[in-house]
Amino acid sequence: PAWFTRPEVAEILAETYPPRHRQGVCIWFTGLSGAGKSTTAEVLTVLLMEQGRQVTVLDGDVVRTHLSKGLGFSKEDRDANIRRIGYVAAEIVRHGGLVMCAAVSPYRTTRNDVRNMVGKDHFVEVFVNTPLEECEVRDVKGMYAKARRGEIKGFTGIDDPYEEPLHAEITLDTMTNGPEENARLILGYLTRHGFVRTPGN
C-alpha cells in the first residue's frame, strides 16, 4: 500500500520483480521423433501470440543445421546439442521472453541439467507421449524405416533409448487429443501459473 511503501521504492520493486506474465518461461517439448512436438508448438505459438505474448521457437532439427552444425548423433553430440539449445533458452528466459524448445532430448540427466540452467520455476517440461508404433506410422521422412534397416545407427526408440520423464509438468496424449486440444491444455497450465494473463486482466 502507498502509506507503507514510498512511490520511488514501489517503482524500483516493480522493475525488480515484474509480474509473472512478464517473466520468462521455457516450455520444453520432449518425445520421440514424430511424436508431435513441433506441430503442438506451432499451434501453441499462435494461441500465445493471440494472448499478447511474444514467442521464440527453438526446433531441434532447425538448431542442428545452424547452432549445432557438425554434431553427429552420438550420446555426447546429442547432449551437446541439447545443452546449446538450453543455453539459448536460458538467456531468452533471463530477459523475460517465452521460449518453446521442441527436441527429442532423450536423456533425463541432460533434460534436468537444462531445467537447472533455465531455473526450475521457469521451466515447463511437456512430455509428448506418442507410442513408438504411431511415430513410425507418422514418419514421413522414412527415418524409422532406415533405422530398422540398419542404415541409421543410434536412432532414438530403435537402437538408442528414450528415457521418459518421471516428473513432467504436463503429459500430452496425442492418440486421444489433437494438436489444438493439447496446445490449449498447455495454455491453460501457463494461465493458471500466471505466465499468461487471463482475458480481461
As beta bridge partners, residue 123 has 26
Q: Which letter does DSSP use for residue 196 in this model?
A: S
Find the radius of gyration of the CA atoms of the chain: 19
**CA–CA distance, 80 with 68 (Å, rounded to integer):** 8
Q: Which letter does DSSP use for residue 197 in this model?
A: P
Question: DSSP readout, 50-105?
Answer: HTT--EEEEEHHHHHHTTTTT--SSHHHHHHHHHHHHHHHHHHHHTT-EEEEE---
User: Which one of the listed residues 33, 38, 68, 105 is annotated catalytic?
Assistant: 105
**CA–CA distance, 122 with 119 (Å, rounded to integer):** 5
As beta bridge partners, residue 173 has 129
Is 105 part of the annotated catalytic residue set?
Answer: yes
Q: Which letter does DSSP use for residue 166 in this model?
A: S
The contacts of residue 95 (CB under 8 Å, 6+ apart) are 24
Catalytic residue positions, numbered: 105
